[in-house]
Amino acid sequence: MIPKEFSLSGKIAVVGGAGRSWLKELASYLAEAGADVALFGQDEKQMAAAAQAVQKLGRRAITVPTNVTSYREVEKMVAAVLGQFGKIDILVNSFDLQFAKPLIEVTVDEWNRVMATNLNAVFVGAKAVGKHMLERKEGKIITISSGLAERGLPNSTAYCSSKGGVIQFTRALALEWARLNVRVNAIALGWMAEGAEAQEGDWRDLLTRYIPVSRLGQPDDLAAALVYLASDASSFVTGSTLYVTGGLMAHG
């Protein structure tokens, strides 16, 4: 039996994606729990597939092409979603631009692009949607980060900084809005089966052996974590990070 606290029936979720964002899967999990879903981002093919998956589950879906780093565009997206659905209960910020390069070779432009997608977009989304949530005195914001927020890795200064920033953003905003009934939490991913770091054969095997549970992560591993944080099941949880990393964070 699925505990009733996990239900999202009657809720409106907005899911933003850029880079490696698992838009289709994240939207499907929310829809399966009962939510209608609005998708925003620039990858229209990915958004269409996500919307189709939501509709297949019998829920409503809309897509709003949006530059996720532009506050003005995200504000317009919020207006469009409110016009269509009337409210927003849940915001999921799933932005993941992967990037790895020796620091000496990283250009200022590259650094700024990683920060813009992975961190600035989280700020932009939370501000634009959070404004509406504060007016309604209700909301849940979920950010997607990485175990690399808490661990270092060579050639990953920009990526690690951006993901660490997401978790600190989550904690700080959680405290800012703790008494306004808007909860802010993060999900941190480990090494995923689908992703740039896992595509080359040798690395894939090496990482798989290194992970305590001996396998790479799948989007389905995130399903219940996402719905938990989006639903009343987590009513006393704010500022927390749920690491779904196959045990990696327990490593020394």
Q: Which sign, positive or negative, has the C-alpha torsion 169, 170, 172, 178?
A: positive
Which residue, 17 or 246, has its beta carbon nearer to another protein?
A: 246
233: DSSP letter = G
Instruction: Find the shortest distance in angstroms from Cβ 122 to another protein.
Output: 17
The three-state secondary structure class of 149 is helix
CA 145 – CA 134 distance, rounded (Å): 24
Which residue, 47 or 186, has its beta carbon nearer to another protein?
A: 186
Binding-site ranges for another protein (CB under 8 A): 1-3, 5-6, 28-29, 32-33, 171, 174-175, 178-179, 190, 212-215, 217-218, 220-221, 223-225, 227-228, 233-240, 242-251
Residue with tokens 């995200």: 74
Tell me phi and psi for residue 186, to 5 degrees.
Answer: -125, 150
Q: Active site includes 228?
A: no
Instruction: Find the shortest distance in angstroms from Cβ 110 to another protein.
Output: 25
Q: Which amino acid is at 164?
A: G
CA 154 – CA 140 distance, rounded (Å): 34
Choice among 159, 210, 228, 243 that is catalytic:
159
Instruction: Find the shortest distance in angstroms from Cβ 229 to another protein.
Output: 10
196: DSSP letter = G
Distant-in-sequence, close-in-space partners of 135: CB < 8 Å, separation ≥ 6: none
Which residue, 44 or 220, has its beta carbon nearer to another protein?
A: 220
Which residue, 108 or 250, has its beta carbon nearer to another protein?
A: 250
- The alpha helices in 117-245, defined as continuous H runs, are 121-136, 157-176, 201-210, 223-230
Instruction: Find the shortest distance in angstroms from Cβ 217 to another protein.
Output: 5
Query: What residues are labeled active site?
Result: 159
